Structure 1
Amino acid sequence: MKVDWLIIGSGFTGATLAERIATQLGQKVLVVDKRDHIGGNSYDCFDEHGILIHKYGSHTFHTNSDMVWNYLSQFTQWRPYFHEVRTVIDGKMVPVPFNLNSLHVLFPKNFAEKLEELLIQHFGFGVKVPILKLREAASGELSFLADYIYQNVFYKYTLKHWELDPEQLDRSVTGRVPVIISRDNRYFQDKYQGLPKHGYTRMFNRMLGHPNIKLMLNTDYREVMNQIKYKRMIYTGPIDEYFNYVHGTLPYRTLQFEFETLDQEYHQEVGTVNYPFEYDYTRVLEQKHLTGQISSKTTISYVYPQKYEPGVNEPYYPIPRNENRELYKLYQAEADKIKDKVLFAGRLADYRYYNMDQAVARALTLFKSEIGLKS
């Protein structure tokens, strides 16, 4: 087989670049994925009970980027949806990110009102405050609150998810879920929020449906390299794996999902409920809240964080720590040596904790800066 581009991986990064190259440059692309489906971790499908599930965890699309939203809107209509999350503290369902409503769920009325007043006086209304910053800046009763939120919302959950204390991670991790001094229960506050109306897989099918794009699924690209002639490659997998771990293994965290279908319309009040203290799983997901599907049954999934082991499970989250970034830089230097032949992009190839919209933005920017003008 002869193509202009060989793209490894069919998630947001690979699909976006394949679509741009095929439609904007008129060049031929082969997309190879070791899984038996397209879409990477955003893949969704109907289970045996007819419930549309996200196989690798709930995916709510959100972005402030007009460029990203308008680009994907070529391939899907959107179902508007504002994601809400609860965390279980002392048996109570508490909104997260922690906000003023959370105060009133947990504390007596007078004390909650006092804490609310102190937060607004100290930080202002509508402000997002990273938990570590709140702990550093707080005093008196706000210091009690900061420690309470840290221990009950962040510390235990972070320890279960990462097997690390929050202080051992880059502050971008704790900054992803700040304390919000408002009554907004939405998990995200982005300009655009929703889900592809007919599912992510349908959207990916449209992105990859151009005649210039061929797919090869359930295939390790290394097993077919000798059968394919190509001019350049785009690699979206783990960068350390590409270079055969010459500098050692980059650490990742991974997840295991256990699905259960229940004979009831809904199991929980929102799409995601976190369990920082109880059980071995970190959260329970119920995607019917996201999809709006009507059914007398519902399928939930229990999410168990695990250590990533190459060849045993799939890498999900790069672990953002300084020493890991230094190791990644060694692989980045290797990638720079072959950038005329191979481009690296995506969460695993860049070793960056991208959201979905950030992966699309990265791909669109890469196309514009490195591919569209040079091909």
Structure 2
Amino acid sequence: MYDYLIVGAGFAGSVAAERLAAGFGKRVLIVDKRPHIGGNAYDEYDDQGLLIHKYGPHIFHTNSKDVFDYLSRFTAWRPYQHRVLASVDGQLFPIPINLDTVNRLYGLSLTSFELEAWFASKAEAIPEPRTSEDVIVGKVGRELYEKFFRNYTRKQWALDPSELDAQVTARVPVRTNRDDRYFTDTYQVMPRQGYTRMFQRMLSHPNITIVLNTDYRDIQREVQYGEMIYTGPVDEYFDYRFGRLPYRSLEFRFETIRQPVYQPAAVINYPNEYPYTRVTEFKYLTGQEHGSTSLVYEYPQAEGDPYYPVPRPENAERYKHYEALAAVTPGVHFVGRLATYKYYNMDQVVAQSLSLCSKLTGKRRQELVEVPHNGHGTVGGRRVHG
């Protein structure tokens, strides 16, 4: 008899399992279709001994001290500030667009104050930005939009930015200084031994049982449990009653180069040429020392594992029907990206899962995260020590 059946061993499910088991003595069964824990954050060593992220780069950043302190129980950290370059007109420029991007692209020598006025002279007046095109054109004008954003977005979503909600490009800032960091959060770090090792420690409590390579529906009737925490696609849970919620997927193509470093930044975006959107070199992220290096090329596609909810008004409207149904489904709690049809960052998923546990236990989140972990458990049929 389990107190909770948790569907999915990514951040949402693993955080919930750990807190309920360690903090409140609950017996938890966590089930995942994949052959591993960690969800899309799973990393592993390839045949050459290089640590890679199997489902594309995952860079941890947060402004939440609670989230950072909580995860710090399960990993030491490596400081890491992410930088991205974009390939435009045969050259590499900092992205997000900043002072250096504009000066180098146009052969100017503007100051930060002058750049603000320069952007204003290029921007189009759009009182109420509704689309992703509106957001960028309203900030920096049409030429920079065409060079850096339009085709990248078309490749990523198979839709023109004029067909996508404003939130897509609103995530990317535009700067008037020389700050070339992709994120500006207080905490910018990577797990020192990788994400998988962090998840192993998180799920090592003796009250947690993990079943991998298994669809929860195949064992649901054979298992006695009190309540369910569901982190999979919400439309799938309800057998697509209101139709499918659209997602974009990715194909990852890995390449090993027999030299220590290959490209001048961790990620290079390709907004215009080539069918892939970006290329990541993992050693920047992991800090690993190795004679070879590993790259991954990302090719957006319509079919495959669901990664990105497609942000359009009709999809948001369809999700509202599922959201209403989820709210009145007794004994089932929906948490995480897929279950709430939102493109959350990793720290946001952790925070959402902690908030759910707070609700289930009646404890404030601060009290909840202070409870110690303690213990070793079984992961995938073998004992893993924290």
TM superposition score normalised by structure 2: 0.88
Query: For the structure 1 residues 155 and 204, does the alpha-carbon distance in structure 2 shift closer, same or farther, using more than 3 Å as the test?
Result: same
Residue equivalent to 1:140 = none
Match of 2:159 among 151, 164, 181: 164
Match of 2:326 among 335, 341, 347: 335
1:362 partnered with 2:352: yes
Write the deviation string for residues 127-161 of structure 1: whole angstroms up to 9, x where unpaired: xx997446336xxxxxxx52121111111100000
Write the deviation string for residues 319-367 of structure 1: whole angstroms up to 9, x where unpaired: 11211111011111221221x3100010000000100001001111111
Is the CA contact 2:234–2:340 (under 8 Å) kept in the aligned structure 1?
yes
Tell me how large the CA RMSD over aligned residues is. 1.9
CA distance in 2, matches of 1:186, 1:334: 41
Residue equivalent to 1:306 = 301
CA distance in 1, matches of 2:51, 2:106: 38
Residue equivalent to 2:125 = none
Match of 2:234 among 230, 233, 239: 239
Cα displacement (A) at 1:106: 1.0
Report the count of equivalent residues.
354
Cα displacement (A) at 1:370: 3.4
Matched residue of 2:2: which SS?
coil
Q: Which amino acid aligns with 1:302?
A: Y
Write the deviation string for residues 6-59 of structure 1: whole angstroms up to 9, x where unpaired: 000011100100001001110100100000000000000000000000000111
Residue equivalent to 2:222 = 227
Query: For the structure 1 residues 228 and 292, does the alpha-carbon distance in structure 2 shift closer, same or farther, using more than 3 Å as the test?
Result: same
CA distance in 2, matches of 1:242, 1:271: 37
Is the CA contact 2:29–2:209 (under 8 Å) kept in the aligned structure 1?
yes
Is the CA contact 1:131–1:178 (under 8 Å) kept in the aligned structure 2?
no
Is the CA contact 1:21–1:372 (under 8 Å) kept in the aligned structure 2?
no
CA distance in 2, matches of 1:156, 1:240: 30
1:178 partnered with 2:205: no
Residue equivalent to 2:110 = 113
Is the CA contact 2:135–2:170 (under 8 Å) kept in the aligned structure 1?
no
Cα displacement (A) at 1:266: 1.0
CA distance in 1, matches of 2:118, 2:104: 21
Structure 1 consecutive aligned stretches of length 4 or more whose deviation exceeds 3 Å: 120-123, 129-134, 370-374
Cα displacement (A) at 1:371: 4.0
Is the CA contact 1:16–1:360 (under 8 Å) kept in the aligned structure 2?
yes
Residue equivalent to 1:126 = none
Matched residue of 1:34: which SS?
coil
Write the deviation string for residues 39-90 of structure 1: whole angstroms up to 9, x where unpaired: 0000000000000000001111000111111111111111000000011001
1:285 partnered with 2:280: yes
Cα displacement (A) at 1:103: 1.3
Is the CA contact 1:92–1:105 (under 8 Å) kept in the aligned structure 2?
no
CA distance in 2, matches of 1:307, 1:343: 28
Query: For the structure 1 residues 283 and 345, does the alpha-carbon distance in structure 2 shift closer, same or farther, using more than 3 Å as the test?
Result: same
Matched residue of 2:110: which SS?
helix
Is the CA contact 2:30–2:209 (under 8 Å) kept in the aligned structure 1?
yes
1:155 partnered with 2:155: no
CA distance in 1, matches of 2:88, 2:104: 10
Matched residue of 2:319: which SS?
helix
Residue equivalent to 1:317 = 308
Matched residue of 2:78: which SS?
strand
Is the CA contact 1:120–1:181 (under 8 Å) kept in the aligned structure 2?
no
CA distance in 2, matches of 1:324, 1:131: 19
CA distance in 2, matches of 1:289, 1:65: 24
Residue equivalent to 1:80 = 79
CA distance in 1, matches of 2:295, 2:344: 25
Query: For the structure 1 residues 225 and 134, does the alpha-carbon distance in structure 2 shift closer, same or farther, using more than 3 Å as the test?
Result: closer
CA distance in 2, matches of 1:303, 1:344: 29
CA distance in 2, matches of 1:372, 1:221: 27
Match of 1:270 among 238, 247, 265: 265
CA distance in 1, matches of 2:322, 2:309: 14
Query: For the structure 1 residues 304 and 366, does the alpha-carbon distance in structure 2 shift closer, same or farther, using more than 3 Å as the test?
Result: same
Matched residue of 1:204: which SS?
helix
Is the CA contact 1:87–1:96 (under 8 Å) kept in the aligned structure 2?
yes
Query: For the structure 1 residues 5 and 117, does the alpha-carbon distance in structure 2 shift closer, same or farther, using more than 3 Å as the test?
Result: same
Is the CA contact 1:100–1:116 (under 8 Å) kept in the aligned structure 2?
no
Structure 1 gap ranges (5+) = 124-128, 138-144
1:206 partnered with 2:196: no
Residue equivalent to 2:69 = 70
